[in-house]
Amino acid sequence: MRLSRYFMPILKENPKEAEIVSHRLMLRAGMVRQQSQGIYSWLPLGKKVLDKVNAIIREEQNRAGAVELLMPTLQSAELWQESGRYEAYGKEMLRIKDRQERPMLYGPTNEEMVTDIFRSYVKSYKNLPLNLYHIQLKFRDEIRPRFGTMRSREFLMKDAYSFDMTREDAIHSYNKMFVAYLRTFARLGMRAIPMRADTGPIGGNHSHEFIILAETGESEVFSHKAFTDFDIPAETTDFDDVAGLQAIFDKWTSVYAATSEMHDEAAFNAIPDTDRLSARGIEVGHIFYFGTKYSEPMGAKVQGPDGKEHPVHMGSYGIGPTRLVPAIIEASHDENGIIWPESVAPFDVVVINMKPGDAACDTLSEKLYASLKNAGKDVLYDDTDDRAGTKFATADLIGVPVQIIVGPRSAAVGEVEVKDRKTGAREVMTLEAALNRAT
């Protein structure tokens, strides 16, 4: 992508409305724009990162056996009346009437709709287990939307829903998502801690919030420090291995971790002083087993091996991609801007032509740009007439992992400078060496 033809509206000034660093950097880098309170457009640079985040989420969901579909944002109130949540949901739900005065709503979540799909088609235990997911916009009329897309009113959610014949099977489905989540957040360059969350009237211990530690996080969390040493389950993990997945779950839930709602002061104090972690965190994912809470009232039943009908056991599993993007930035930035983990960087490498119009600079830059593209890299080519200082500042701000700087003096002898965004290390080398480094 040539920067001169791209759309990346960089802000020079720090936007006053941004209270936290990720919000400030997303606005300054031209990633998002607020359209009305808590409702955002994702501009091209932001959209590229969001797509990469979604691709990783999708890969891990598929690997764990979940099946993707797409449900609409607008839902009929009828389904929610069936489950009893239409009245109960309260003011976070945006209620709409269509031209026939029929009550509709902008979905804050999809348990009812997916249960309706399930009951319409699946009649036998032989078709289970089943896990259906989508990545779709949600709307919640948050009382206090803030921190940019961290807590917005319209936001993207990956929500998966599992259906099983028995509670035991449902726990295996839960463990699949538990493992998929550990892998997903690790691939996004973050260590998320699964923390016990409230199960309400359902009871049991099968609700976990995945929390990323950050000073600006809205949740108060308490945990053992041991989590930093736990191994992330491998790509080769067998998701059909019931005992194997249970062992991973047991390991990751063997030490104390809870949000303030579930905090048990006595259990926490039993941890040795130096192993105690009391911090703030961001909820990036939430998984929940809720049994027959929706299948019972909505009549989502399958015929069991006994020939009788049984309401299915369900769970739901959410991740917030539009919250993850700022969460990644909170965890990875410096005073000059964002430092993207390679897995989600909007571009793999940026080629900075310091002096467009200079024959040597142009030739070398074009050559780099073409070769890197051919090698399958996502390349940003800064071919603008901006001052050198502006170009460097932009490259640092948008956080592309590798910068290749083409200046007139070194270009004349076929050399360029390669800068690592994370460490700041710079090295002069030949064009060939730079290509090797970046591919």
Residues in the chain: 439
Are the beta carbons of 170 and 164 closer than 8 angstroms?
A: yes
CB of 202 to ligand ATP, least distance (A): 14
Quote the tokens at residue 8.
Answer: 């990346």
Q: Based on CB atoms, which residue is closest to ligand ATP, 223 or 322?
A: 322
End-to-end CA separation in angstroms for the chain: 17
> Which of Mg ion, ligand ATP, none sits in contact with 401, Cβ below 5 to 8 A by type?
none
What does R_g of the chain's alpha carbons equal in angstroms? 25
Residues in contact with 105: Cβ distance below 8 Å, sequence separation at least 6, in sequence order: 74, 75, 76, 77, 80, 86, 93, 94, 95, 96
Dihedral sign computed on CA atoms, order 82, 87, 90, 91:
positive
- Nearest approach, Cβ of 322 to ligand ATP (angstroms)? 6
Question: What binding mask, one character per residue, do residues 266-285 give for ligand ATP by CB under 6 A, x or -?
Answer: -----------------xxx
Distance CA 123, CA 116 (A): 12
CA 100, 103, 105 angle in degrees (round to 5)? Answer: 125
Residues that contact Mg ion, how many (by CB under 5 A): 2
Q: Which residue has the tokens 């829903």?
A: 161
Report d(CA 64, CA 67) in Å as an integer: 9
Site string for ligand ATP, 282-301 (x = CB under 6 A): -xxxx---------------
Nearest approach, Cβ of residue 115 and ligand ATP (Å) = 16
With H, G, I as helix, E, B as strand and everything else as coil, classify residue 434.
Answer: helix
CA–CA distance from 163 to each of 122, 246, 293, 300 (Å)? 10, 18, 12, 10
Q: Does 48 bind ligand ATP (CB under 6 A)?
A: no
* Segment interacting with ligand ATP, rule: CB under 6 A, options 150-158, 332-340, 409-417, 419-427: 150-158
Per CB under 6 A, does 361 bind ligand ATP?
no
Closer CB to ligand ATP, residue 54 or residue 371?
54
Asked if 286 touches Mg ion (CB under 5 A), the answer is yes
401: DSSP letter: S
Q: Which of residues 125-144 bind ligand ATP (CB under 6 A)?
A: 140, 142
Tell me whether residue 173 or residue 322 sits nearer to ligand ATP (CB atom). 322
Among 152, 162, 371, 410, the residue binding ligand ATP under the rule CB under 6 A is 152
Q: Which does 217 bind (CB under 5 to 8 A by kind): ligand ATP, Mg ion, none?
A: none
Q: Which is nearer to ligand ATP, 197 or 351 (CB)?
A: 197
Supply 303's token pair: 């015929």
Q: Among 1, 20, 79, 157, indicate the residue that binds ligand ATP (CB under 6 A).
A: 157
Distance, in Å, from the CA atom of 167 to the CA atom of 292, rounded to the nearest integer, reads 9
Q: Which of residues 72-111 bind ligand ATP (CB under 6 A)?
A: none
User: Which residue number, 24 or 286, has a Cβ lying nearer to ligand ATP?
Assistant: 286
Q: Are strands 276-291 and 207-213 parallel, antiparallel or unpaired?
A: antiparallel
Q: 210 and 286 in contact (C-beta within 8 Å)?
A: yes
The secondary element (H helix, E strand) that includes residue 371 is helix 359-374
Q: Which of 281, 291, 318, 337 binds ligand ATP (CB under 6 A)?
A: 318
The CA distance from 168 to 233, in Å, is 22
Question: From the list 281, 291, 320, 401, which residue makes contact with ligand ATP (rule: CB under 6 A)?
Answer: 320
In terms of CB distance, is 52 or 286 closer to Mg ion? 286
The piece of 8-16, 248-256, 315-323, 378-386 that touches ligand ATP (CB under 6 A) is: 315-323
| Of the candidates 280, 284, 282, the residue with the CA atom closest to the CA atom of residue 223 | 280
The entry of ligand ATP, Mg ion, none that residue 320 binds, CB within 5 to 8 Å by partner kind: ligand ATP
Q: Rule CB under 5 A: which residues touch Mg ion? A: 283, 286
The residues of the shown chain that bind ligand ATP, judged by CB under 6 A, are 140, 142, 151-152, 155, 157, 283-286, 318-320, 322-323
